Amino acid sequence: MDAKNTIASGKAILGIEFGSTRIKAVLIDEDNQPIAQGSHQWENQLVDGLWTYSVEAIWYGLQDCYASLRADVMKQYGVEIEHLAAIGVSAMMHGYMPFGADGNILVPFRTWRNTNTGKAAAELSELFNFNIPLRWSISHLYQAILNEEPHVKDIKFLTTLAGYIHWQLTGEKVLGIGDASGMLPIDPSTKNYDAVMVEKFNRLIAPRQLGWTILDLLPKVLQAGEPAGVLTAEGAKRLDVSGHLNAGAPFCPPEGDAGTGMVATNSVRQRTGNVSAGTSSFSMIVLEKNLSKPYEMIDIVTTPDGSPVAMVHCNNCTSDINAWAEIFKEYEELLGVKVNMHDIFSRLFEVALKGDPDCGGLLAYNYFSGEPVTKFNEGRPLLVRSANDKFSLANFMRANLYAAVCVLKIGNDILFKEEKVAVDKITGHGGYFTTPGVGQRILADALDLPISVMKTAGEGGPWGMALLASYLINKDEREPLADFLTKKVFAGYAGTEVKPDPKEVEGFNRYIENYKRGLAIEKAAVDNKE
């Protein structure tokens, strides 16, 4: 069946992902291939010292993204989307969205990017003997309790951005296990919130007499492939304001962007991993065994089907590269040159490979926000050089591309060098890998491991979510997610692999040592520059 008939007959599957800078939608066909897409650009706002997106921006963004998808379908195929075979919604993990009895949000959405939860995260990590990062939902909740915020006693439901959208479209207060594992730790044996930690948290807050226990607030945990509700009539109207989309499409469990990245790169089996690099970056390595101890730099989350994963999450990645690209755009416009941002990025990325392996001594810090791995609650983007450094465009860009993965390397060195974690394959995806062979090369040298990239490198998230929706309706009875992906999605997919270059690895290692020493400069900037 061709794409037009797939859409017209209601057999297309929709995946939506709320990224940090773009909301994306992808339609896939019965062969799990993308056939249409839509998007909406957006940006977080710093309000009262906290990073947020307004509820209004969330819904306008979703509706505009879907309208963009509709327009793409109409342009390509001349048909309306009236029925869908399945839908899945994913979004940035973690954060804090508390709702009251009337279903309205009690305080503005606090995103993963906020680092104001240090006291809460430290106390909970000690209480649980488990690393609880600053951005996790339980950290945000406990920090609000410690701060004696008046809204806390009124909370009736706490969820993530994906969980919120899913709830509004289906009426179901559920969450995929991968996204849930960034709210509160998951017990791999029960595939549910860790009962021991739940009890410890309840005892911790009991003296405050808040009128609820933690399980009263959290969404129900579901694994990939489990039904998670259907699109309601009200949900259909909220998604498609044109009114063409009908209710009734089944939903898979809502997931976090980490989970969709694992799916989109076929990295849900043990000894596989992936690196997502965009506004933020994170690596996900599916573990064969538990780590020897908790590490502050490493989160333990799960795959969408509940396997433990070691996650190194970095708040900053490509935002400073994007900012520099805008400067080059302004320069081209000043010269009267017709501007093409894709060409600007491609050429800047490609010239970076001509730079010295250690960037000629240049250092870049891409800290738009705080970076917990290196213990920064705030950040200041910096370029650092001395008069004797080799200051060239190639070294400048190489330093910025290095900076985007430096923190990722620091965290992963613990896994590979200290814990001796075994991995057979790491796949990269996200905007950092869009220019062929550049980000891939630099990451291979940074981690000193082969890195693969697939053709979907720049658009993995919404496609990964669509695949989870496909798994819901197309899996064989008791077919594991990993088998479904290998046999029915990625069979015949040939990615490109780049192996590390020993000379480049040596250069990156010199850079990272300078980078670590230079963190004192970053600290001085944070302390002295508003």
Provide φ and ψ at 402, rounded to 5°. -60, -50
Q: Which of 254, 259, 136 is nearest to 194 (CA)?
A: 136
d(CA 16, CA 467): 11
d(CA 139, CA 313): 16
Burial environment of residue 497 by CB neighbours within 10 A (0 to 12, 13 to 18, 19 or more): middle
Neighbours of 117 (CB within 10 A): 27
pLDDT digits (tens, 9 = 90+) for 364-380: 999 998 898 898 989 99
Token readout for 292 is 């020897």
pLDDT of residue 494: 67
CB 257 within 8 A of CB 90: yes
CB 84 within 8 A of CB 13: yes
CATH architecture of 1-93+227-265+460-498: 2-Layer Sandwich (3.30)
Q: Where are the domains of the chain?
A: 1-93+227-265+460-498, 319-404+501-528
Q: Which of 508, 501, 524, 529 is nearest to 363 (CA)?
A: 508
Q: Give 104's contacts (C-beta < 8 A, 6+ positions apart).
A: none
d(CA 301, CA 306): 9
Give the amino acid at 28. I
Torsion angle in degrees (nearest 10) through CA of 82, 248, 462, 29: -60
pLDDT of residue 456: 56
pLDDT below 70 — which residues of the chain?
Answer: 456-459, 494
Q: Which of 24, 26, 48 is nearest to 35 (CA)?
A: 26
pLDDT of residue 530: 84
pLDDT of residue 411: 93
Token readout for 375 is 């213990």
pLDDT of residue 218: 98
CA atoms within 13 A on the CB side of 3: 15
Instruction: Fill in the DSSP letter of residue 96.
Output: B
Using the structure block, give the residue that is written with the tokens 């979907």: 456
Q: Give 202's contacts (C-beta < 8 A, 6+ positions apart).
A: 213, 214
Stated as kind and residue range, the H or E segment containing 255 is strand 255-256
d(CA 454, CA 458): 9
d(CA 395, CA 363): 9
Q: Which of 449, 354, 451, 352 is nearest to 403 (CA)?
A: 352
